[in-house]
Chain A
Amino acid sequence: MIRPAMDKSIGKNRATADVSERRELKWPMSTDRYMLWIDGVGAWQLCVGSQFLIGGPTLEDKSADICLMANLSRRHASLLRNGEDWFIHPHNSTVVSGRAVTGPTLLRTGDEICLAERVRLGFRIPSVLAGSALIDFESPHRPAHSVNGIILMTDSILLGSRKDHHVCCPDWPDLVVIYKQDGVLRCRSKASLTINGTRVRDSAVLSDGAIVSGDDLRFRIERLKDRQ
């Protein structure tokens, strides 16, 4: 059901450009940001990429991928996916599970990231089936709009009834997988789904604004274009 290394064949030109940029830690990165509005469950910010910047609010065009209403610098820390592992690169005061860090640090599921002493974020990788991570808010600091959490998607995310899914939707009858293939997001499930009223066979592209409905589920994906 889940295809590992699905983004192997992202458009070659962009991919190489990205890699060189990533090595130099340049910003802004090509992270795509979406909102997942899930009926009866909540709202999640979905960041797709392999490198995510955390920062405070700014009036400039370029804001961080994870922009929190908090007293953070604009580039406070970044989260990187490297191979199978997740790292945090601190650019400013950062504490990981009680340990102040200054250089790239491996993150483990269950770690607490504390930024600028006051902002506390939970880091976890809910499922062993996908490397995508989840950021929970442990202090009252949130993005400008209420979201339940932030999903850092590298390959795929799982939406289903279990606690070890990225988004736990208790009443859903079946697992829904969102994954990236050829640079676009797709969605598949055993349950019969419709996207914008069209029946899904096997899998389908999740375009901006797509409403996915099933027997007992409904969610909408919306691309965040502007950077606050």
Chain B
Amino acid sequence: MKFALAPESRPLEGYTIKRAIHRGGFGEVYYALTDAGKEVALKLLHNNMEVELRGVSQCLNLKHPNLVTIFDMRQDADKDHWIIMEYVGGKGLYEVLQENPAGLPLTEVFRWLHGMTAGLSFLHDRGLVHRDLKPANVFSDADQVKIGDVGLSKYISESRRSAQTHSVGTVYYMAPEVARGRYGREVDVYSLGIILYEMITGRVPFEGETTAEILMKHLTAEPDLTVLPEKLRPVLAAALEKDPDRRISDVEELERRFRKAIEESGFAIEKPTPVYTAKTSAKKSATALATTLLGNPNVATARNGSGLAGKWNSAAEFWHTRVPTPVKWVLCGSVLWLILRSGALQPLTAGGVIGGLAYLVYRTFFMKSPSRRTTQVAGSPLRPSQPGRPPILGASMPDSLMEGASQAVPVMARAQQRSMPPTPQLVQAAVPVSSIVYTPATLRQIPGSQRASDITTSMSVALAAAALVTTAVHLATDLLPDPADVAFFGSVTLLAAWALIVPAKVWEGRPGDAFVRRLIQGSLGLGVGAVAAILQRFLMLDETRLLHADGDGVFNGGNIGRIHVLESGLPTMAGFMMFFGLLFLVRRWWWQADSFRKSRFRISSSLVTLFLGVVLSAVMPFPEQLGAIWALAISAVVQLSSGWTPQENRLLAPSPSSAQVVPMMAQVRHAVASVPAGAGQRM
């Protein structure tokens, strides 16, 4: 980059240039020191510019902490005009945005927005319009946001047709009515809206390869608001309204509505990290990156639920965080063993069914908005992502994923509406505290080869897991006395686990309707049941205790309707098929097999499955203990053998972002010269 003036030159009496800062659209900017040592920025205006100096001169005496102060305007010996301004040392918003391609942390968005709003609001109050607000004109010095180039925009409007000052960087932020020569303060609202959008998402709403394309989009295209949290969409829509008369008319109004929307979305505004705690900078930048508005639920600090929910939550938290895993196993194991041994299975089951039904009735008729907890009891380990936040958006979000997000959002939004209560408090009770939540519902791209190897690995591990679990059942209970029993139980368990793992791994990371998935699982269950029945005949397990059902369940005579499910105390093929079909249909098994499930082996998941097995074998005529143990065994094998990614490794791999094509200067000139006229006709 060549600059006209050399270091140490003194174009103006009393000022020594030390270095060139940059070349802007309408002049070069230098860092200079006065003879006494005060640092200033000197802006040399282009010689050939038809300068209208009134714009600057009326801004000479404006004083506001959020505006870059203009000290003076001078002419050098060559009759060139210089503007002497306050030197702002810190990083500009432009650089900050470059460094944060996935958007800024929420606190930073607020800080920049507030500074810009205060500065613009002051200008508007003095009857001025900035007209050229863009990240390259916004700076931050010692945490004070400052808007630069105040008063210079006059030149821009005057010289627009000469295309001197236009770069693509400018048109990204230009309001549509500028094409018609209309410059109200709504122009600044629009630019601020675009910057706000960019600070949140990391990209401007209207991109293009040429100035013409971008201008055309400002005039005609609707911004893609689906990438924003839901509550923010109407705010940004109102700020980016094409018609200035229908746009938010006031920057302060924009800031107010933005704040309100953020509060309503349940994003707690993070307190800034204390300046003086000594953290390593690497860590800090990592957290800063991680806490963008779109990227991370850190910003949504969960409030403690009140009353019963709160107690339940704290108990659950205690169980999850304080109780060591081995202790959990011992506790659960002994409780299970006690239940099985004491013969309390039937009363407990009956109690569970009655309690469950009562709760269901209560939920359906008496609670207006069912809490998340209820769905969890019904067997879903679903952790809701933030309200309105598409779960696909990772901390450092590659562009390609962002593009995917816009399509994924409507689906997710609907899913959330269905499954989530409308009141934010209830939602928040279930939002986990300060961790990135990747659930099995997180959409992600998994290469086919990885998927295939995952399936084969899981299937082979399932072999070992099934053997292990079968041995455990053989040793711990007296259900499997004979080798034939062991073989029967083990092979059916393995087959069932395979039938569950394979579709789950195929579905992993993909969007899909839960109901359809359940139906598919259910039909696979029918198949497993049929095989189990054939195997039972083949192994001639007629006399064994294992398969002997004590009662008829709630049905008489071993018949459900006209289907014969029990014959001389043994389940028929229909009985097996019905048991496995229902077992597979009711549980959301793919969550237990997903790499992004909460932990490798979740006891609660297994317990719910066990309970389901108990209920099924109690309701339909099926051997009770076998039903319960089988459900538990299948759940254990599925969880133990399916590939699992530890929480800390759950990053969505970044893919190279598409290269931006820098437009040729010739194109820019051409576009600027031709667009306003054509654009005006289209309006």
Contacts and interface: CB of A to CB of B under 8 A. Distances in A.
A joins B in a complex:
yes
Interface of A: 35, 37-40, 42-43, 95-99, 110-112, 114, 117-118, 120, 122, 136, 138-140, 142, 144-146, 171, 209, 211, 216, 218-220
Contact of B39 (A95, A97, A138, A146): A146
B18 A37 contact: yes
Contacts of A39: 1, 3, 7, 19-20
A169 B211 CA distance: 28
A214 B8 CA distance: 18
Nearest to B89: A146
A98 B279 contact: yes
Contacts of B277: 98
Given A211-B6, A211-B7, A216-B1, A37 B19 contact: yes
A145 B37 contact: yes
B278 A220 contact: no
11 contacts: A37-B19, A40-B20, A112-B280, A120-B276, A142-B89, A209-B8, A211-B6, A216-B1, A220-B7, A220-B18, A220-B19
Classify the interface of chain B: helix, strand, loop or mixed: loop
Contacts of A139: 275
Contacts of B6: 211, 218
Contacts of B22: 40
Given A43-B31, A112-B278, A122-B281, A146 B19 contact: no
Interface of B: 1-3, 6-8, 18-23, 31, 33, 37, 39, 87, 89, 142-143, 275-282
Contacts of B18: 35, 37, 43, 220
B37 A140 contact: no
Contacts of A171: 1
B37 A40 contact: no
Which of A99, A122, A146, A219 has most B Cβ within 10 Å?
A146
Contact of A40 (B1, B39, B89, B276): B1
Nearest to B17: A37
B20 A95 contact: no
Contacts of A110: 280-282
Contacts, number: 77
Contacts of A96: 278
Contacts of B31: 37, 43, 146
B468 to A, nearest CB: 44
Contacts of A118: 275-276
A-B pairs with lowest CB-CB distance, top 4: A37-B19, A220-B7, A140-B142, A146-B89
Contacts of B7: 37, 39, 211, 218, 220
A98 B280 contact: yes
Contacts of B282: 110
Contacts of A98: 277-280
B278 A114 contact: yes
Contact of A97 (B23, B37, B278): B278
A112 B275 contact: no
Contacts of A38: 19
Nearest to B275: A139
A56 to B, nearest CB: 17
Contact of B279 (A42, A112, A218): A112
A80 to B, nearest CB: 21
A209 B280 CA distance: 37
Given A110-B282, A142-B89, 18 more contacts: A35-B18, A37-B7, A37-B31, A40-B22, A42-B19, A98-B277, A98-B280, A111-B280, A112-B279, A114-B278, A117-B276, A120-B278, A140-B142, A146-B31, A146-B89, A211-B6, A211-B8, A220-B7
